[in-house]
Structure 1
Amino acid sequence: MSTFSVEDAQANLEKLLDLVLQGEPVTLERDGVAVVELRAVKAPPKPGAWGSTEWLSARRSTRPGIGISSVELIAEMYDEGAPVAPQSSCSSEGS
């Protein structure tokens, strides 16, 4: 672990950033007391990660369809008198 005074850190910020990005923990001290620890930020998720549009598209293309659209399916459910989920008793009207 590297330790620098706040004054040294101000003068050598580029060097400190390079150390942190290489995985080296860096601590900054003021009057000999550690006050800050610098660390790299986690990398953003890679494309194709779970829940991304790429993942959803790939998952959809591998699943078998049922041969009708969601609109047609819901219409059939209403026509057959299939039970429909009860509507919430909470209403935004009158609020």
Structure 2
Amino acid sequence: MKTVSLQEAQSHLARLVDEASKGDAFVIAKDGRPAVKVVPLPVEEKPVAKRKRRAGFLKGEASLHSDFDSLYAKDIEEMFYGK
């Protein structure tokens, strides 16, 4: 397993990550001492499929009051302007 300095890791991070993702793990050393080990993550065999959202699938399941827009209008007006 190769060891790279912190400076080298900063300079060549993209290349090092590409190598690690292919299975070549490496260690980053700080002040000459091993500090971090970079290893590839296991590859998922199948990506998790997102469920498709269907617009309108609850149509008809809920209803609004016929005067929804004017509900509590009087109360709100009293809060702003007083009685």
Q: What TM-score, normalized by structure 1, do the two folds share?
A: 0.45
Question: Which consecutive residues of structure 1, in runs of 5 or more, have no partner in the other structure?
Answer: 48-95
Partner of 1:13: 13
Question: For 1:61-72, what aligned pairs fall within 5 Å after superposition?
Answer: none
Richer in helix (by share): 1
Please list the CA deviations of residues 30-70 of structure 1 after superposition, one character each: whole Å capped at 9, or x if unmatched.
Answer: 011000000111112426xxxxxxxxxxxxxxxxxxxxxxx
Question: Which consecutive residues of structure 2, in runs of 5 or more, have no partner in the other structure?
Answer: 48-83
Task: State, as a whole percentage, how many aligned pairs show the same letter.
Answer: 30
1:29 partner letter: A
Displaced runs of 4+ in structure 1, greater than 4 A?
A: none
In 2, Cα distance between equivalents of 1:45 and 1:18 = 19
Q: What TM-score, normalized by structure 2, do the two folds share?
A: 0.51
- How many residues are matched? 48
| Greater RCO structure (CA 8 Å; 6+ sep) | 2
